[in-house]
Structure 1
Amino acid sequence: MTTLVVCLDRTDDVGRKTGLHSPVVGWEAVRALVTDVGLADPEDSGVNSLLETLRVAQGLRDDDEETVVAVVSGDRESMVRADRAVARQLDELIADHDPDSAVVVIDSAEDERLVPIVESRVRVDSVDRVVVRQARDIESTYYLMKQFLADEELRQTVLVPIGLTLLVFPILAMVFEFSPAEGAAAITTVIGLFLLYKGFSVDDVLGGFARQARRSLYSGQVSVVTYVVAAGLTAAGLFAGGLGVSTLEDPQGYFIPAMRFAFDSVPWLAAAALTASAGRLLDEAIDEEPIRGSYINLPFVVVAVGLVVRGFSAYFLEQADLIGPLTVSAADLGVLSVESFAVGGGNRLAVFVVGGVLLSLVGVKVASALRGVDPSIEEPEIADGGSDSDSHRQ
């Protein structure tokens, strides 16, 4: 049984420092090469790998195995030429000595990339990586940093926030004259927001919204327009809520301002949600796919929730003497004449809550009725991924 003990040198450090051409084969030739490389560059780790090659071969000889010691080098200028040169020299060694297996000796991660080339030609029993003991921690750290910097996603996630932090801190200190504590607080806030942004995968959510918006624009869906209108109504509702809070003369705590904001903004926000759901329902109706019953019920639910929130916020504001009771003007309907009256306090709250509940029940009834009449209306999916009708059939 013949074992090839081969030392791999992908960048041809041995050839450049000694002027010898590889492969270098034989115990005496490799031992002489150790002296030549050591005299040319005593600090080169290649000396250690050559000595390790001789040590491994000597150990195999002590076990009565026939060994062939060789050093194979590549090319420093081109990695493709280097790999082809190594492959060619390995073919020569295998043709001349016909080894049954090989032991590969390397001293760097660069040389380790040649191992598959050896494995493709002869069975590799062992890979011996030589690391100089004094430089083990330094070399391991170097390769970890090199691998880290090669990963684009890790670079963007870690290095970009650190770089922005190092840039923002002196800018805050010089331009805005922030104290160190204020600057540190601002930077910590930004880093915390970034971590939450990545932790909750906000970028994936925004990317999904962008893809959905592109599909909607290209397919000409009605919901594109209704979403824009809904965004405008939402902005108007937020502005109305903020304007209502600003009119409070002496707001105490946070509860009353929150109720004022809800009271003034809920009609606009409910209108925005109703517009968006109506656009989505129109898209479902225009599309050839079956209409889901949840889309029919959604507008009723939106208005019902708006009524309930409006009723509760009006109740608390009326108790705080910030608004008066709801006044219904007189109306003459010919046969029926209605005089003006006021509804306030618990009565108004009850009217709004009961109205919201009744409206939600009407939505459920309408969706159920349309589902029974029109077979193109699809039932909403249940938790196990099927439909109600499927579960009944099972």
Structure 2
Amino acid sequence: MTTLVVCLDRTDDVGRKTGLRSPVVGWEAVRALVTDVGLADPEDSGVNSLLETLRVAQDLRDENEEVVVAVVSGDRESMVSADRAVAKQIDELVATYDPDSAVVVIDSAEDERLVPIVESRVQVDSVDRVVVRQARDIESTYYLLKQFLADEELRQTVLVPIGLTFLVFPMLATFLGPAQGAAAITTVIGIFLLYKGFNIDDWIARVGHQVRESLYSGQVSVVTYVVAAGLTLVGLFAGVLGVSSLDDPPGVVIPAMQFAFDAVPWLAMAALTASAGRLLDEAISDEPIRTSFLNLPFIVVSVSLVVRGFSAYFLEQQGVEEPFSVPAYEFGVVSNESFTITAGERLALFVVVAIVISLVGARVASYFSGTRNGDEAELADGSGSTIAEPDRESSADSPSELTDGGPARESSPAIDSEPTADPASEPGSNDEPDSRE
């Protein structure tokens, strides 16, 4: 009784990695193929399929059966051509060895589709499916989980919130109800994820470090920042009071404009106070004042004027704010009657003044920047002249270069690069010995 033990490879991994053409028939040929495939790709499960084929053949030989070992591969062009190539090779094996039955060895669902082709040619007694005991993905997951559990920071970041959720949710569900408990838990988890996602903890640590450094170094900006925080709170409070004084306004635009109109002056003063403290720190330090700090107060005033102008325009259009009236005045020979400025005229005036202030700020910043660059250039020129003069004096006072002419000429790269001339033609080459004599 002859049994065909055949290993099926539909995608031709064996031929692609070893360069051999199938079918590969014979015990020694398949055993050599195991080495070739293993050296080409040690992680390929096809190596296990080939070894399983040899093991099954060895077991059948131990039972005194005649065994033919073969490896059949498909084609890489298409699935149809691969199936036809396998069918042709099975026909050749059946015609050559005339087996009574077959044992098919496969290692994937893709190769299992070839089993009906083999069954149509020869009786199949068994289908041996090779499953690798330790798959790479499972092993990688295990080691990643082990590394995760060994990292203390990751444990505190992931496991602690999950554990607290499992502990708190039953209590909340008992006292408040499942819906309220789930809502509270999801809210806390969302806040925690945002806290970690925006790196708020790093920002808090950085701000705390800067505050400590400012306190220990005695910077003026510490006091101005506190004053700016107080002015910001006052501005927010003033904005809320302004919104609360409205009589049931429709929509959201009017309350937002009222809040901006009342809060912007205080917020602008807070920003100016903070920038003034920063400017004082820059002026006290040895380093020159940066252009951005010089331009910041002008930008703050310009932006506040624009916001104030637009908010006043919307409020005046809705009748919330009264039109701006200029009272009558008399100053010497100059006098004027009272008049009213419309909303558009006031908005244009605010915008023009803001643009002028921003241009003045840019001009002031560029002026101080140019003055600083000029001072640095003068310092650089002065340092160069003071370094060059000692070199000239030292070269003039060196007696070795004046009296010893030979080494001086040898050490000069300009003289060494010139072609060698006749000693008699060199001036002073023969005169010096005569004068010493």
The TM-score range, normalised by the shorter chain, is: 0.5 to 0.7
Paired position in structure 2 for 1:325: 323
C-alpha separation in 1, matches of 2:317 and 2:343: 7
Matches of 1:193 and 1:275, distance apart in 2: 33
The RMSD of aligned alpha carbons is: 2.9
Aligned residue number for residue 286 of structure 1: 284
Q: Is the Cα contact below 8 Å between 1:308 and 1:356 reproduced in 2? A: yes
Change (3 A) 1:166 1:224: same
Shift of 1:143: 6.1
Give the structure-1-normalised TM-score.
0.56
CA distance in 2, matches of 1:284, 1:195: 38
Q: Call closer, same or farther: CA 1:222–1:329 in 2, change over 3 Å.
A: farther
- CA deviations on 1:226-282 (whole Å, 9 max, x unpaired) are 000010011111111111112222232222211111111111111111111111111
TM-score normalised to the size of structure 2?
0.51
Distance in 2 (CA, whole Å) between partners of 1:233 and 1:376 is 39
Cα displacement (A) at 1:181 = 2.5
- Asked if 1:307 is matched to 2:299, the reply is no
Equivalent of 1:226 in 221, 224, 227: 224
Cα gap change, 1:353/1:159 in structure 2, threshold over 3 Å: closer, same or farther?
same
* Deviation by residue 1:345-370 (Cα, 9 ceiling, x = unmatched): 11111111111111101111111222
Q: Which amino acid aligns with 2:154?
A: L
Q: How does 1:2-17 map to 2 (within 5 A)?
A: none
Offset, 1:165? 2.4
Q: What amino acid does structure 2 have at the position aligned with 1:287?
A: S
Q: 1:251 to 1:219 in 2, by over 3 A?
A: same
SS, match of residue 340 in structure 2: strand
Native 8 Å contact 1:324 1:344 kept in 2: no
Which residue of structure 2 aligns with residue 25 of structure 1?
A: none
Residue in 1 that maps onto 2:154: 154
Counterpart residue type for residue 283 of structure 2: A
- 1:376 Cα deviation (Å)? 8.5
Give the secondary structure class of the aligned counterpart of 2:321. Answer: coil
Query: Which stretch of structure 1 is more off in the superposition, 308-317 or 338-347?
Result: 338-347
CA displacement 1:70-126 (0-9 Å, x = unmatched): xxxxxxxxxxxxxxxxxxxxxxxxxxxxxxxxxxxxxxxxxxxxxxxxxxxxxxxxx
Between stretches 237-246 and 281-290, larger displacement belongs to 237-246
Q: 1:353 and 1:146, CA in 2 relative to 1: closer, same or farther beyond 3 A?
A: same
Q: Distance in 2 between matches of 1:219 and 1:191?
A: 39
Q: Which residue of 2 aligns with 1:3?
A: none
Deviation at 1:320, TM superposition (A): 1.3
The question of 1:256 aligning with 2:261 is answered: no
After TM superposition, the structure 1 stretch with the greater mean CA deviation from structure 2, 329-338 or 262-271, is 329-338
What is residue 202 of structure 2 aligned with on the other side? 204
SS of 1:227's partner is helix
Query: Is the 8 Å Cα contact of residues 311 and 353 (structure 1) preserved in structure 2?
Result: yes
Q: CA deviation at 1:140?
A: 8.3
Partners of 2:173 and 2:180 within 8 A in 1:
no
Q: 1:249 to 1:165 in 2, by over 3 A?
A: farther
User: CA-to-partner distance for each residue in 1:315-349, whole Å, 9 max, x for gaps?
Assistant: 11111111111233344433433443332311111
Return 5+ residue gaps in structure 1 as ranges.
Answer: 1-132, 379-394
Rg (Cα) greater in structure = 2
**For residues 353 and 170 of structure 2, what CA distance do their matches in structure 1 show?**
59
For 2:331 and 2:201, the matched residues in 1 are separated by 57
Note if contact 1:173-1:183 (Cα within 8 Å) is conserved in structure 2. yes
* Aligned partners of 1:237 and 1:266 also within 8 Å: yes
Name the aligned partner's letter for residue 245 of structure 2.
T
- Write the letter of the residue equivalent to 2:159: L
Gaps of 5+ in 2: 1-132, 377-437
Alignment coverage as a number of residue pairs: 245
SS in 1 for 2:325: strand
Tell me how far apart the structure 2 counterparts of residues 336 and 372 of structure 1 sit (CA, whole Å). 42
Residue aligned with 1:342, SS: strand
Deviation sequence 1:171-211 (CA, Å, 0-9, x none): 44445x2x422332232222122212211212112211111
CA contact (8 A) 1:292 1:377 kept: no
Higher relative contact order (CA 8 A, sep 6+): 1
Q: Taking structure 1 as reference, are residues 166 and 364 closer, same or farther at Cα in structure 2, changes over 3 Å only?
A: same
Cα gap change, 1:374/1:180 in structure 2, threshold over 3 Å: closer, same or farther? Answer: same
Cα distance in 1, alignment partners of residues 342 and 173 from structure 2: 56
Distance in 2 separating the partners of 1:330 and 1:145: 82
Distance in 1 between residues matched to 2:228 and 2:193, nearest whole Å: 30
SS at match of 1:327: strand
Change over 3 Å in CA distance of 1:164–1:323 after alignment to 2: farther
How many Å separate the matches in 1 of 2:370 and 2:141? 69
